[in-house]
Amino acid sequence: YRTDPETVELTYSDIKCLDPEVFLKSPVINFYIQYLRKSRPCDDLYIFNTYFYSKLEEALSRTGECGSQFSKLRRWWRSVDIFKTPYLLLPIHGQVHWSLVIIFMPAKEIKSGPRVFHLDSLGLHSSDKVFGVIESYLIEEWRHLQKDSSYDIPFSDTIWRHLSRNIHKEKIEVPQQQNDFDCGVFMLYYIDKFIQEAPDDLTGVRPCKFGRKWFSPVEASGLRKRIRVLLIDIFQNAPPSDRNLVSHADDDSEDEEDKGKDTIVIV
C-alpha cells in the first residue's frame, strides 16, 4: 500500500498536531482529505494529496527531463481525466504555510478554458509562482493528450487548440486566519466549504461565492477540534485488521504513553 499515492498512514502521535497552536502535519491533512472525498461523488471532484504539488514542482524544474519525469507522475491521477473532471483541488505547501488551488473546468458550451483559483489565508504564497506551476501542469497534460487523435476534447475546438492562451488565473479573496498556526486548518476548511457549495451547473464563471465573508474565521478554527475528535474515535474503534502495532522509539514524541501506540492505514 505504500506505493499508492492515496494511502494515508497515521500514528496515534500524529493527533498531537491537532493540539492548540500547533501546525497541522501532512498525515492528518491527508486523512481529512480522504474523509471529505467520500462526501461527494468522485466523478466531478478530485482532491490531490499534500505531496503532489511538490512532486509536480520537482518534475517541472528538471530542464530537459520534464517529459519523462512528468510521465512518471501520472500515477497520481491515473484514474482521472483532469480536463473532464469539473473540480480539481491541490493543497500547496511551502515556507511552513498551506494554501489551496482550485481548478474549475467549465462546461464546453460556455467557450472558456480552465479557470485556476488560488486561496491563501495569509497571502504568504506567491500566486504568480503557483499559477506558473499549475499552467505548466495543464499544458504538459494537454500535450500528452494531443497525441491521441481519438481523444474526445472537453472544450470547444478553438479553446482546445490554443489552450495555453485560455487558462484563466485569479487570486481569490477569502477569510483570513487570525493567528500564525491555523493555515492548514483554513486550507482544509476551504476544501470542506467548497465541496458543500460547488454547483453541479458548470456554466458559471466562478464555481462558488468566495469572498472575505465566505465564513467566519472562528468557524474555520473550530475544525481543528472536530478532526481531533474524529481521529480519536477512529483509533479507538478501528478493528484489529486495520491496525499495525508499531514502536515509536524513533519518533519525536516525548510522552512514553504514546510509544507503542497503533498505526492505522486508510486507503
Active site residues: 97, 120, 183
**Nearest CA-CA partner of 203 in 104, 85, 116, 68:** 104
Going by C-beta distance under 8 Å and a sequence separation of 6 or more, which residues neighbour residue 149? none
- CA neighbours closer than 13 Å in the CB half-sphere of residue 31: 27
Regarding beta strands 262-266 and 243-245, do their DSSP bridges make them parallel or antiparallel, or are they unpaired?
antiparallel
Helix ranges restricted to H, the chain: 26-37, 52-61, 66-73, 127-146, 157-161, 183-197, 217-221, 223-237
Sheet holding 8-11, edge to edge: 8-11, 262-266, 243-245
3-state secondary structure of 98: strand
Distance separating alpha carbons of residues 258 and 13, to the nearest angstrom: 6
Sign of CA dihedral 266, 34, 227, 11: positive
Task: Tell the residue number behind the cell numbers 471532484, with chain if given.
Answer: 45
Amino acid residing at 25: K
